[in-house]
Amino acid sequence: MRRIQVLGTGCPKCKTLTANAEAAVKALGIEATVEKVEKLVDIMKFGVMMTPALVVDGQVKSAGKVLSAEEIEKMLE
């Protein structure tokens, strides 16, 4: 099962990225967990300076922008 994490403090962009990640997982029909990481201490562990950020299976894939569901799907394929 894939693990997708959205790093961000709960801003509107972070919520949009979370929704897009969930939509991408649903569209692909894959087994994955989508979790929000909102604590600054936990976000800093990834070395991310800009949020929202997307982490897939422990690797930072994007930081500082809201990816569309389609862009996330391409990363997960």
Catalytic residue among 10, 11, 35, 65: 11
Task: Specify whether 20 is catalytic.
Answer: no
Catalytic residue among 4, 6, 14, 48: 14
Task: Specify whether 66 is catalytic.
Answer: no
Q: List, in sequence order, the alpha helices (H) in 34-68.
A: 40-44
Q: How far apart are CA 77 and CA 47, in angstroms?
A: 25
Yes or no: say if 4 and 21 are a contact pair by the CB < 8 Å rule. yes
Instruction: Show which residues are catalytic.
Output: 11, 14
